[in-house]
Chains A and B, each alone.
Chain A
């Protein structure tokens, strides 16, 4: 934290870093649930690789949030000792894995957003965030290629895979509005040059989604109503189950190491 940062700006930066850190952490945990259950050995390693990339993004983001917050909480403290209402992740990433089509579509919708976000955050006025983004943008570029390929293969695959992918679009589309919804935190953070306005990412995201859906033979839903609340701590019932599993060990055995 620099001396010139006002308390409100600092709080907005903490909230913003928690949104990013929690989103990457929760999605990382969701993907790690596939380990031992993925359809092929090769894909299982691929999913674990993506999960580890996301975890590697979450760790410094949460560490930075704790540093700016100044209450002595480190990345582990923030990850393992907060309850669901204190989490600020996007609703999209806490949705259950479902079948492989659901997981890949959720991943593609997120990756398409992440690659645009990181490329802009690489020039953030927050040097730590810019450094994290510079590394993450390369990871996301690979992730979106991987998930996009799968959406095309599944959407344009067999009758069964196409049906499952259409079902995934129907289930997950309503969580995409939150990616671009802008609130007071977003506005404060954009005004200080730390991050772009979330809404600015939507045209590029939409171009990529349109192109991949066209190749996959999927229709982009025209429904306008969208879920929201994750960035403000109002979550679906699924996040509590994620945290119960993820936080069990450090809560049952505080401070344990191995």
Chain B
């Protein structure tokens, strides 16, 4: 379908104040085309106010085989969750 076209990961910010969120990937020959392709594929329904594209090859991912060592130790440390505070009613997006 797209022989030799590199893959790009797409991140979209839905509105100001929120973080960019990974939404998927596109094929494109360069960053300019990756941005327009991301716009056309992932923001057709007013999903975004800002787009990032990152070469998929530039992402370093953790090894799923390491997940026990990486993530299990946090499992019994509930005191790290900010659940013991009362959040004021008019604070959004927490």
Contact = CB atoms under 8 A, between A and B. Distances in A.
A165 B25 CA distance: 29
Interface string A118-130: 0000000000000
B58 interface: no
A46 B27 contact: no
A46 B44 contact: no
Interface string A40-68: 11110110010000000000000000000
B36 A40 contact: no
Interface residues of A, number: 12
A45 B41 contact: yes
A42 B32 contact: no
Give the interface centre of A40, A46, A153 by most chain B CB atoms within 10 Å: A40
A45 B40 contact: yes
Contacts of A43: 37
B40 A40 contact: no
Nearest to A42: B37
Interface string B26-44: 1111001100110111001
A49 B28 CA distance: 18
A160 to B, nearest CB: 14
A159 B70 CA distance: 52
B49 to A, nearest CB: 15
B87 to A, nearest CB: 39
A149 interface: yes
Nearest to A40: B2
Interface of A: 40-43, 45-46, 49, 142, 145-146, 149, 153
24 contacts: A40-B1, A40-B2, A40-B5, A41-B2, A41-B27, A41-B41, A42-B2, A42-B26, A42-B27, A42-B28, A42-B40, A42-B41, A43-B37, A45-B40, A45-B41, A45-B44, A46-B36, A46-B37, A49-B40, A142-B39, A149-B32, A149-B33, A149-B36, A153-B29
Given A42-B40, A145-B36, 10 more contacts: A40-B5, A41-B1, A41-B27, A42-B27, A42-B28, A45-B41, A46-B36, A49-B44, A149-B32, A153-B29
